[in-house]
A = this chain, B = another copy of it.
Amino acid sequence: MTIQSAIAELSTVLGDGLSRSKSDLDLHGASETYFAPTPPDAVVYPETTEQVQAIARICSAHGCPVIPWGTGTSLEGHALAIRGGVTVDFSRMNKVLAINAEDMDCVVQPGVTREALNAELRASGLFFPIDPGANAALGGMVGTRASGTTAVRYGTMRENVLGLEVVLADGRVIRTGTRARKSSSGYDLTALFVGSEGTLGLMTELTLRLHGQPEAISAAVCAFPSVGAAVDSVIATIQMGIPMARIELLDAATATAFNSYAGGDFPALPHLMLEFHGSDTSVAEDAKRFGEVAEEFGGTEFRWSERTEDRNRLWKMRHDAAYAVKAIRPGADILVTDICVPISQLARAIGETEADIAASPLQGPILGHVGDGNFHALLLVEPGNTAELAAAKAISERMVERALKLGGTATGEHGIGIGKLDFMAREHGDAWAVMGDLKRALDPGNIMNPGKLVKVN
């Protein structure tokens, strides 16, 4: 019962769907952030649910860790093989199996990326709105309960997964949920697997909600005298029921970074970037009403645009934020923090974080999905500089403690992986032990992405 014996048996089942080449192992041992490389012992590329089932059975029998892999864009080390074992790369399970236009849903394999899905949907009048920035695989987005800029309107993966096919550790294949829009039939297993980071099973099929492509889209930018004023205008906007598709906060440092990197012309002030989806009439009305709210809270330099090219330029800038921030200090790594608080506490959380960063040796521009109370400080760290990494981790830890004190959470959208494991007991108390109970119930051998999210004795 060893990893090596599991790999020997797997190679008879998977043939050239199993790789032990150094380049494959290295690729699957890397992450996008500061974690040390930890390659697996082998990489498998299943093409069918039956192959995934065989992988689960064989790895269970041999006690071999199984780590799912989408595109490797997660930020908390979710896909690192920290105990060795086999990485299951889903890139060959990348088919869109069904698009049900009338029902506004689709069925996809986990290796389909969100951009690939939206390309297939273009002619249907529908789209999948969740946008975490990276062109992640949808299976990975389910695994981390991803969200991003559009969650304020369309929800997160939690609200957009209708059902799953999952291979359990013992090789059983289950289906959770149906294509019905709602159900009161038993425990919500779909929600249990969304955000489970590969620790409870391997997803082989996803049924996702789709949304109608908006008839009209408009965008707006507005500067504010302070983060507090920007947040207050967001609170008022939400309470008035003005439906925003996106509402993003940039602090002054980010606005300045956009100016130098992407030729923006923002004043060195906090900004809100907004998008409205609807009919021609409604987006015009929404922008007008938002403009009035913003003015009340001292907003200036309000710019509104219906032109597609202006809008695309704006959101490209937002999507490239990490590059713009990196350009402040060429060659630096970024440690991306990710807390989420009740919106009434957001200005305070950001203000205290800014003060914390100012008192540190680091630079760390801040961006936020402000409609959800979620923000990130992008802490710039010199590669290999352990003092700077320690300073960045200390800032991140204080952000988490601040979030918990203010009624929030350690991670709004990036997940736990190994990066935030130490905060789980603090955030959840005995509820973390309950997560361990559930993990043991479904994966008694602890082979499914072991060492992530839960601790199992």
Binding site for B on A (CB under 8 A): 100-105, 125-126, 144-147, 151, 155-156, 158-159, 168, 172-176, 178-189, 191-192, 194-196, 200, 211-212, 214-215, 235, 238-241, 243, 277-279, 281-282, 285, 289, 338, 340-344, 371-374, 403-404, 407-416, 420, 423-424, 427-435, 437-438, 440-442, 453-454
Specify how many copies of this chain sit in the oligomer: 2
**Contact assessment for B438 and A440 in the assembled complex, using a CB-CB cutoff below 8 Å:** no
Chain B residue at minimum C-beta to C-beta distance from A175: B431
A434 touches B125 (CB 8 A): no
Q: Tell me the bound Cα distance from A424 to B159 in angstroms.
A: 23
| Closest residue of B by beta carbon distance from A417 | B184
**Does the CB pair A238–B342 fall under 8 Å?**
no
B344/A409 in contact, CB under 8 A:
no
Kindly report which residue of chain B lies nearest to residue A241, judged by CB atoms: B212
Contact B374 A182 (CB under 8 A): yes
Picked from B125, B235, B278, B427, the residue with its CB within 8 Å of the CB of A102 is B235
18 examples of A-B residue contacts, CB within 8 angstroms: A100-B342, A100-B344, A144-B184, A145-B182, A146-B184, A159-B159, A178-B404, A179-B408, A181-B340, A181-B343, A182-B412, A184-B338, A184-B411, A189-B434, A189-B435, A192-B192, A243-B243, A438-B441
| From B186, B403, B404, B408, contact of A435 by CB (8 A) | B186
Question: In the complex, are the beta carbons of A180 and B430 less than 8 A apart?
Answer: no
- Closest B residue to A239 by CB, please name it: B212
The residue of chain B having its C-beta at the shortest distance from the C-beta of A105 within the complex is B342
Query: Bound state CA distance, A340 and B373, in angstroms?
Result: 34
CB of A343 to closest CB in B, whole Å: 6
Residue from B103, B191, B442 within 8 A of A434 (CB atoms): B442
| B residues in contact with A240, CB < 8 Å | 212, 215
Closest residue of chain B to A439 (Cβ to Cβ) is B187
A289 to chain B, nearest CB (A): 8
**Contacts A155-B159, A241-B212, A441-B437 known; A184 to B413 CB distance under 8 Å?**
yes
Complex Cα gap A183–B410 (Å)? 8
Residue contact A188 to B191, C-beta cutoff 8 Å = yes
Q: Are B285 and A125 interface neighbours, CB within 8 A? A: no
Contact A241 B278 (CB under 8 A): yes
What is the CB-to-nearest-CB distance from A2 to chain B, in angstroms, rounded to a whole number?
28
Q: Knowing A373-B181, A437-B442 touch, does A430 contact B174 (C-beta < 8 A)?
A: yes
- Bound Cα distance from A243 to B212, whole angstroms: 11
- CB within 8 Å for A178 and B413 given contacts A103-B343, A192-B187: no
Cβ–Cβ < 8 Å partners of A179 in chain B: 342, 407-408
Residues of B within 8 A of A151 (CB): 182
Contacts of A191 in B (CB 8 A): 158, 188, 191-192
| Nearest chain B CB to A388 CB, angstrom units | 26
Output the residue of A158, A172, A373 with the most chain B CB within 10 A. A158
Question: Which listed residue (B100, B181, B372) contacts A372, Cβ 8 A?
Answer: B181
Report the bound CA distance from A453 to B185 in whole Å.
8
Question: How many angstroms from the CA of A110 to the CA of B440 in the assembled complex?
Answer: 30
B174 adjacent to A434 (CB under 8 Å): yes
Closest Cβ of chain B to A249, distance in Å, is 14
Query: A438 — which chain B residues lie within 8 A by C-beta?
Result: 187, 192, 438, 441-442
Give the shortest distance, in Å, between A287 (CB) and chain B (any CB).
13
Residues of B within 8 Å of A214, CB to CB, are 241
Q: Which residues of chain B are near A146, meaning CB under 8 Å?
A: 184
Q: Is A414's CB under 8 angstroms from B373's CB?
A: no
A378 to B184 alpha-carbon distance, docked (Å): 18
User: Which one of B145, B215, B340, B372 contacts A241 once the chains associate, using CB atoms below 8 Å?
Assistant: B215
Q: Provide the residues of chain B in CB contact with A175, threshold 8 Å.
A: 428-429, 431
Beyond known contacts A185-B411, A185-B415: 9 more, CB 8 A cutoff: A180-B373, A183-B340, A185-B410, A185-B423, A187-B453, A212-B238, A212-B240, A212-B241, A241-B278
Complex interface: chain B residues within 8 A of A239 (CB): 101, 104, 125-126, 212
Whole-angstrom distance between the alpha carbons of A440 and B187 in the complex?
Answer: 13
The residues of B that contact A440 with a CB separation of less than 8 Å are 441
Q: A188-B192, A241-B278 are in contact. Are A411 and B174 (CB under 8 A)?
A: no
Residue numbers in B under 8 Å from A338 (CB-CB): 184
Nearest chain B CB to A53 CB, angstrom units? 12
Assess A196 versus B187: contact at CB under 8 Å? Given A344-B100, A408-B179.
Answer: yes
